[in-house]
A and B are shown apart, each in its own frame.
Chain A
């Protein structure tokens, strides 16, 4: 009896392993590169334009097509002219760069104002240790300090990198400054840019034990702490290189706030989203493109974060392909590891898609068992059939790998 129960556990383990590897194997064999469909906001036209990769059966190759929101086709050059920030080099080479934009000369400085940032609401692992840079070093750029800081139950502690010992004097000075600002240790999270590859340091944003947000900097070696009045819970903060925004803040519901350098918090008028945005901003607009699995939605805001326009498009991806339909019919689910391998995520397919295949494997298993002269009414043979009925191809393979014979 024990051996039979162990066998069922091994069958379950094998089902899990097959659910992890087989769909990937299927995709690597049958997945065709899906045609890309991209969405941009034209600062020239003040409307959305699109590019799409389509299959040209005559040339037997993919080619790009361009069109505007009304579906009017655009040539590649027309399309590039509508997006001067994205095609600056090409337009200059062709001598097609517009002279002005929105009544302002389109200078090199204006063109350089464009920035692209990925905003992701989910948190990865963080050491909760970071170097606190001098924010006014007296020269451009930042210098790497000789210590790291942590904010644990004992408050802030500076650890000397060379000796791995706590600098008690510096720790006490900064701890007092934090306490005076109303900070309560330990820190829940510390957000910032711990790299020296930046023109200036804007310090760190620290969430205290009560969820309150504080801005911590070191100016001329002394602490500077500013309490920020956040009336929402903080899930994630994406800090930016020096500019007019310190950071973007995600709440647990993926509402997005921008913290300006005057400590004003602006709630962004973005709809329901999955917490994954591609932010592009320039002197005129900020566009937040929410990257979904089936669709892409772009919200365009002006410089004051007021809504200008929005557009959603369906993304042609693997899920709409014939290979994906076949995958849904063959496999009852697949298991994926998240990037960074933090979680196994089972992704079930619709039962209406895979039940005929599962039924086929149940019948096949009955035939195999009959050929092996098994008594099908035995409890563990029925378990095998039930596992195959639920887990389809995975169950079928797994129960055959571990023979029901002792």
Chain B
């Protein structure tokens, strides 16, 4: 039955996931084009500027995880809550927690797969021109954005499950402020020490849907 549930999610999200993937890959190719152009025109000058000014040459990737999370989250949960279709799913013999978590886990894995494809392509392409130290620093600096995208996805799921409109609004404010922390323009490489805190916030967000799913299951409160 879980496989059927996952197939249902796939039907809902596949085109949106494809759009997110194409947008992400396009951003990575755009970053690579910038690096390749800089290296071809004057490699020492380009690298010197990059090292001295600590330029975020990968800034184009900043909103990719958030964009992908919103596309997947909305395509997955909006149809469920608009018609209250989720109520049918919650009455499946799997149990409400398993149903909700099958959906959330599916969305999370789909989002992770899209972001992993983008990051692998980023590493593969930039490794042609840039030393490992620069790529590592870039990946570290991109990590808060990736975690921010995941956090956004969990909060979309959580907000969608909330049965009361005013609380949805309050959660949206909290989510907006929380995700703003992740989406800052971080100084290159500096953010490594901040990652455990951000990962913990993402971890807490990953279970947040349990709270609203419980409220949803109990009905209007």
Contacts and interface: CB of A to CB of B under 8 A. Distances in A.
B78 interface: no
B202 to A, nearest CB: 10
Interface string B79-104: 00000000000000000010000000
Nearest to A16: B201
Interface in B33-69: 39, 43-48, 51-52, 54
Contacts of A17: 174, 177-178, 181
Contacts of A159: 131
B131 A164 contact: yes
A306 to B, nearest CB: 36
Interface residues of B, number: 50
Contacts of A144: 44-45, 48
Nearest to A194: B52
A21 interface: yes
Given A129-B131, A130-B51, A342 B193 contact: yes
Nearest to B136: A127
A405 B45 CA distance: 61
A145 B45 CA distance: 9
Contacts of B54: 125, 127
Contact of A13 (B131, B205, B214): B205
Interface string B9-51: 0000000000000000000000000000001000111111001
Contacts of B44: 131, 144-147, 161-162
Interface of A: 2-3, 6-7, 9-10, 12-14, 16-17, 20-21, 124-131, 144-148, 150, 159, 161-162, 164, 194-196, 337, 340-344, 401-403, 405-406
Interface in B141-200: 164, 167, 170-171, 174, 177-178, 181, 184, 186-194, 197
A394 B193 CA distance: 25
Q: Top 5 nearest A-B pairs by Cβ distance?
A: A125-B189, A3-B214, A161-B43, A340-B187, A162-B43
20 contacts: A3-B210, A3-B214, A10-B208, A125-B188, A125-B189, A131-B44, A144-B45, A146-B43, A148-B47, A150-B133, A161-B46, A162-B43, A194-B48, A340-B186, A341-B187, A343-B194, A403-B215, A403-B221, A405-B221, A406-B221
Contacts of A148: 47, 51, 131
Q: Looking at B44, B164, B191, B193, which has the most chain A CB atoms within 10 Å of its CB?
A: B44
B181 A162 contact: no
A125 B137 contact: yes
Interface of B: 39, 43-48, 51-52, 54, 97, 127-131, 133-134, 137, 164, 167, 170-171, 174, 177-178, 181, 184, 186-194, 197, 201, 204-205, 207-208, 210-211, 213-215, 218, 221
Contacts of B45: 144
A129 B210 CA distance: 47
Nearest to A128: B133
A401 B170 CA distance: 6
Contacts of B193: 342-343
Contact of A127 (B170, B189, B191): B189
Contacts of A21: 177
Nearest to B171: A401
Contact of B218 (A6, A145, A406): A406
Contacts of A14: 174
B215 A406 contact: yes
B170 A161 contact: no
B174 A401 contact: yes
Contacts of A342: 187, 190-194
Contacts of B97: 2
Given A17-B177, A131-B51, A144-B44, 20 more contacts: A3-B211, A3-B214, A6-B207, A12-B204, A16-B201, A124-B187, A125-B137, A125-B187, A125-B190, A131-B48, A148-B47, A150-B133, A161-B44, A161-B47, A195-B52, A340-B187, A341-B190, A402-B211, A403-B164, A406-B218
